[in-house]
Amino acid sequence: MQNQSTEDYIKSIYKLKKEGKSVSTSSLAKHLNIGDGSVTGMVKKLSDRKLIHYRPYQGVELTEEGRRLALKMTRRHRLWEMFLVQFLGYQWDKVHDEAERLEHMTSDELEDRIDKALGYPKVDPHGDPIPTVTGELVELTYKNLAECEAGKSYVIIRVSDESPEVLQYLTQFGLSLNKKIKLMQKIQFDGSVVIKVRSQQMPLSQRLAQSIFVEMV
């Protein structure tokens, strides 16, 4: 059994590494919004428990055991997000904080029951892949809208959940997973784009375009 603090640290290390960032105690402290001194002490404890490899000034790496724990918590978080949307009527911009709390209180049996009730989903409400019960994660390949070619049609398969405001804005315009769109124009000087949804054309800023991931149809 792990405590919540351990799970939060391990999942944060995993997330920062997935983003291609070097994980130092200072970057981890910033991500967790706590003091450097507290992080240094916890990192040493996690190293003693063989969940991470840590050498001062050289950053933090997850061990295989640490990676398994990170994927387990990621799985529970994303299952809860899907459950909250499908069964409790939550909007996709409201599920993250609830799932953060619930993931720490989930037993193996409850995890299995949620998975079964949902029909064994492969992705969460934002299109992020859900790790399997055996700790496998199938990485999906896709481009963000800002990288795509104008004049082509695409379907939305993932939307970044880093900002609830972005999700709320996209919802206002009926943009969601599996929505078909056409990229009408790319504005070179500022990186914005113009898309067509059904018969309506709408501009999207570069930040919004980079938050929407698609595949060609």
Which pair of tokens denotes residue 210? 């980079």
Question: Which residues have CB under 8 Å from 71's CB, separation 6+?
Answer: 14, 131, 135, 137
d(CA 176, CA 137): 23
Question: Which CATH fold topology does 143-216 show?
Answer: SH3 type barrels. (2.30.30)
* CATH 1.10.10.10 correct for 72-140: yes
Domains 4-62 and 72-140 share a fold: yes
pLDDT score for 212? 96
For residue range 61-81, list pLDDT tens digits in order: 999 999 999 999 999 999 999
d(CA 25, CA 145): 34
pLDDT score for 16? 93
pLDDT score for 1? 53
pLDDT score for 138? 86
pLDDT score for 196? 96
List, for the chain, all residue ranges whose pLDDT scores fall below the cut of 70. Answer: 1
Nearest CA among 100, 93, 89, 82 for reference residue 163: 93
Instruction: Sort strands 200-204 and 212-216 into parallel, antiparallel or unpaired.
Output: unpaired
Domain boundaries, the chain: 4-62, 72-140, 143-216
Question: Which CATH fold topology does 4-62 show?
Answer: Arc Repressor Mutant, subunit A (1.10.10)
